[in-house]
Structure 1
Amino acid sequence: MKAKLGVSALVVLFLAGLWLIAAPFAVGYQPRGAAYADATVNDLWLGGALAGVSFVAIVVYAADALRELTGRGKHVADS
């Protein structure tokens, strides 16, 4: 149960990071063709960092889960 909650939180954080990256353009407070406003630069850096860190955490969790499943398979095969 805790693992599902943690992975769900990581997915939500990843999606929030993607939204921060897309928000200046989707909402329209970054005019097309204009120099990036300070708010846009902030959203891009923060969203990129949030999405990147949460993506790495999801990959690490998936690798750990795969390693555990592989270990269980070896244990069953040895029996």
Structure 2
Amino acid sequence: MKAKLGVSALVLLFLGGLWLVAAPFAVGYQPRGAAYVDATVNDLWLGGSIAVLSFVSLVIYAADALRDLARRGKHADL
């Protein structure tokens, strides 16, 4: 149960980070062709950081889960 809650939180953080990256362009407060406004730069850095950190955490969790499954499989053969 705790694992599902943690993975769900990481997925939501990842999606939130992606939204922060896309928001300036989707909502339209970044004028097309203009230099990036401060809000856009902030959203890109913060959203990108959140997305990357949550994605790396998900990959580490998945690798650990696969390692645990492989370890259980080895012990089942004995």
TM-score (norm 2): 0.99
State the alpha-carbon separation in 1 of the partners of residues 77 and 44 from structure 2. 49
> Alignment identity in percent?
78
Counterpart residue number, 2:17: 17
Per-residue deviation, 1:34: 0.3
Mapping 1:1-79, distance limit 5 Å:
1-78=1-78
State the alpha-carbon separation in 1 of the partners of residues 32 and 64 from structure 2. 43
TM-score (norm 1): 0.98
Per-residue deviation, 1:28: 0.2
Give unmatched runs, 5+ long, in structure 2.
Answer: none
> Which deviations, in whole Å up to 9, do the C-alpha atoms of 1:28-76 show, x marking residues without a partner?
0001000000000000000000000000000000000000000000000
State the alpha-carbon separation in 2 of the partners of residues 41 and 71 from structure 1. 45
Give aligned pairs, total.
78
